[in-house]
Amino acid sequence: MPGTDASPLPFPAAPLHRLPDEPDSGGRAFWTSTSDGLRLRLGLWLPKGAALGRARGTVLLFQGRTEYLEKYGAIAAWLTAQGLAVIAPDWRGQGLSDRLLADRRPGHIGDFADYSADVAAVVSTAESLELARPWHLLAHSMGGCIGLAALLDGLPVARAAFSAPMWGLHHPLVPGGVISTLTATARRLGHSGRAAVGTGGGGNYLLDTRFRGNALTSDARQWARLLAQAGSWPELTLGGATYGWVAAARAEMARLAAMNSPEIPALIGVGGAEAVVSQAAIRRRAASWPQAQLLELPGARHELMFDLSAPQFLAAVEQLFAA
């Protein structure tokens, strides 16, 4: 497809916000639809001056729960500076994509298999735009769970990098049997769409948590940027996970744990101070993935792409995608 990074796209334009003091990432957002009729917001970033299809490859960027395109503007710009195009979705139920409940605050999903329609929409869009091959996957947290399922379903990427992938949840104070009982009770009472106790309710983690002791990052500047985004555009944000989301996530992680790893090269990063997802589940998957490199980062928290303790992660991603 002809044109440069400023050429019109054959999709309706969508908003893409930027803080006043934040550099322009060069991204554009637009709307597309899934096979089951939901509207998704997608973001696209191209190397400066490059025509569609003329990058040295394309990164499919899969974000985590509660996240949105704006958070990853700097990461996308870093990738385009390496000559890579980037395409990313706001998953259904978050960001500016269609929410799944009348109450926009809780993060909900009925079945993680539903995310496969979002992945299919990203792949279809990338194909229609003729985005340059090879394609690579960069996935964070919940995006790592969705991404692994997509790889096992044939996602056409050459390499995959995972930042703190959600292959298990970190809940040391609540036994798994108790969680199963709570989610089953909520389903029986018709409360699967209610925010689960202990997941944040209708608030927002960034706005409700102090920097000191937070589980996401040790980088005060990144924390301030994320806080400013959440405060500036509350319509992008999400509250706690519903009982339905918790049940669906646990079912999907158990399903994936029983499956063999895909046969592609992978980088798997985990922080030593990880307290959102399960470190043990990440190590188990890495140990059973012959072509995977496990990168352990002592002191790093959940946000490996936004943490002072984890500069090696992005360096390893760059090396992987340049191979």
| Tokens linked to 226 | 């994320």
How far is 147 from 152, CA to CA, in rounded Å? 9
Predicted confidence at residue 52, as pLDDT, reads 82
Domains of the chain: 13-322 (3.40.50.1820)
Beta strands in the chain (DSSP E): 13-14, 28-33, 39-45, 58-62, 85-89, 135-140, 159-163, 266-271, 292-297
How far is 188 from 191, CA to CA, in rounded Å? 8
Predicted confidence at residue 6, as pLDDT, reads 65
Q: Indicate the Cα dihedral angle 276, 72, 128, 256, nearest 10°.
A: -10
Judged on CB neighbours under 10 Å (0-12, 13-18, 19+), 152 is: middle
| Tokens linked to 206 | 């960034």
How far is 92 from 266, CA to CA, in rounded Å? 26
Sign of CA dihedral 291, 297, 300, 301: positive
Predicted confidence at residue 173, as pLDDT, reads 65
Total length of the chain: 323
| Tokens linked to 156 | 């056409």
Predicted confidence at residue 174, as pLDDT, reads 74
Predicted confidence at residue 64, as pLDDT, reads 98
What are the helix and strand counts (H, E) for the chain?
Answer: 9, 9
Q: Indicate the Cα dihedral angle 78, 133, 14, 79, nearest 10°.
A: 0
- Residues whose CB is less than 8 angstroms from the CB of residue 262 and which lie 6 or more positions away in sequence, other chains included: 148, 151, 152, 160, 289
pLDDT, averaged in runs of 10, over the chain (323 residues): 65 97 95 98 95 92 98 98 98 98 95 98 98 98 98 98 97 78 86 80 87 96 96 96 96 98 98 97 98 97 96 98 93
